[in-house]
Structure 1
Amino acid sequence: MTDLIFKRLTPLLIGFVIWGLAVALQVRADLGLSPWDVFHQGLGHHLGIGIGWAGAVTSIGVLLLWIPLKMKPGIGTILNALVIGPSAEFFLKFVETPDNIVIRWAFMLGGIVLMALGSALYLPARLGTGPRDGVMVGLNKKFEFSIRLSRTIVEVAALIIGFFLGGTVGLGTLVIAVGLGPTVQAMLQARRWLVERVTGVPQSVL
């Protein structure tokens, strides 16, 4: 139990909070959001709630799609739904949109780095996929779609629906789409190197 809490659960929660901060920075950058955050923001406009709360509502709704896909959530899945959105709402109270375009881009790029850092903390915990990633995995298992195709279907659908709901799509959206994956991989490699240096135990990279 101690191993679960300190070596897996704590990094997971910290990673989710960091991801919430990243979302807040990208919202305030006002240069475009990730596909799912475009959806969350658009949904929030229509429901009269913030992007973080809309993200939590979406997570619950997406989990319902797990039923026909025969997916089972883990503790990480539930915490993903409960922590990231409220964390984003918390940080949005303290972060304002800068007037300077350079600072806005710093917010955008910093958000990508923080998303990668958050991912490097919570992915190795292996306590369950996020609600949205679970749909991707479910499509892969049920219909034998490739992971790449499954992710594309889910992300593009979220982006298109979010755009028509009024979510912010911009150059930043493209930058996130192109830059997040490689940044996450680099952060996972850095985490592995650091843990190996400290513990001397070989680590795997997702």
Structure 2
Amino acid sequence: MTTPRSNWLSQAITADALKRFPQSIAGQAVFATGLVMMLAAGVGLPSWEILHQGLSKQLGIQIGTAAQLSGIFVLLLWIPLRQRPGLGTLSNIVIIGWVMNVELALLEFAGVPSAAEIATQPLLAGALAIAGTAVVGIGSGIYIGSGNGPGPRDGLMTGLHHRTGQAIWKMRTAIEVAVGVLGIVLGGTFGFGTIWFAFTIGPQVQFWLGRFDPSGRAKRQAAAADRR
């Protein structure tokens, strides 16, 4: 039996969800740190961050703020797709962008070399991009394992999958390519980090999700969403 959409808030804010909420926040903070590491490397970003970097350049705002604005816009697209956000979905929009802005400001204050400077040292830049991807994978495992709802962009992917009947991998590929190309046009950075992230992030998230969600809560929730 399908629960009315008007009850989504009562479903999202439960005692169990609140108990797991700190895990959501912690995972998102770790995730943001990984993205900052990739930004510092200067040799390519994941597709969505290419877009956020491009938007930040064009609008003259911090990249974390661009990510927050993007998250709000994507969340609005959930309405016609009939997706239901969780506590983690909402905090995703706020926490990741905020942590990125704070950490980037701290790096600048500490006098850490710019991404352009680090990118001139291929071994250092490559190692930083690889390490950043690994940290994003850990953060993803922590956050997704909390079972407090998908991120706005993941929800867009699954929502399109439900409404179009197309395979999830097709929807993800189409979105990632479109977003990445738009980001490049706007001035975002494509490079080694982009390719490394695309080919390795899936297995890394799967590995860490098994460590932070041994009961398989997130997998069961995803299966329940597929049945709606």
TM-score (norm 2): 0.81
Q: Is the partner of 2:61 in helix, strand or coil?
A: coil
CA-CA distance at 1:190 after TM superposition: 3.5
CA-CA distance at 1:114 after TM superposition: 0.8
- Please state if 1:139 is matched with 2:160: yes
Partner of 1:31 in structure 2?
A: 43
Q: Is the partner of 2:106 in helix, strand or coil?
A: coil
The CA distance in 2 between the partners of 1:89 and 1:138, in whole Å, is 29
The CA distance in 2 between the partners of 1:189 and 1:73, in whole Å, is 23
Moved more, 102-111 or 143-152: 102-111
The CA distance in 1 between the partners of 2:121 and 2:37, in whole Å, is 14
Partner of 1:182 in structure 2?
A: 203
Long gaps (5+) in structure 1: 193-201
Is the 2:78–2:156 Cα contact (8 Å) retained in structure 1? yes
Map of 1:53-202 to 2, 5 A cutoff?
Answer: 53-95=65-107, 96=112, 97=114, 98=118, 100-191=121-212
- Please state if 1:52 is matched with 2:52: no
**Alignment match of 1:42 (pick from 29, 37, 54):** 54
Identical aligned pairs, as a percentage? 35
Is the 2:17–2:87 Cα contact (8 Å) retained in structure 1? no
Is the 2:48–2:176 Cα contact (8 Å) retained in structure 1? yes
CA-CA distance at 1:91 after TM superposition: 1.0
Aligned-CA RMSD value? 1.7
Q: How many residue pairs get matched?
A: 196
The CA distance in 1 between the partners of 2:194 and 2:148, in whole Å, is 28
The CA distance in 2 between the partners of 1:144 and 1:26, in whole Å, is 34
The CA distance in 2 between the partners of 1:49 and 1:82, in whole Å, is 15
Is the 2:41–2:129 Cα contact (8 Å) retained in structure 1? yes
Is the 2:89–2:152 Cα contact (8 Å) retained in structure 1? yes
Q: Is the partner of 1:13 in helix, strand or coil?
A: helix
CA-CA distance at 1:188 after TM superposition: 2.0
CA-CA distance at 1:3 after TM superposition: 4.8
- Write the deviation string for residues 153-196 of structure 1: whole angstroms up to 9, x where unpaired: 1111110110101100012110110011111112223335xxxx
CA-CA distance at 1:2 after TM superposition: 6.3
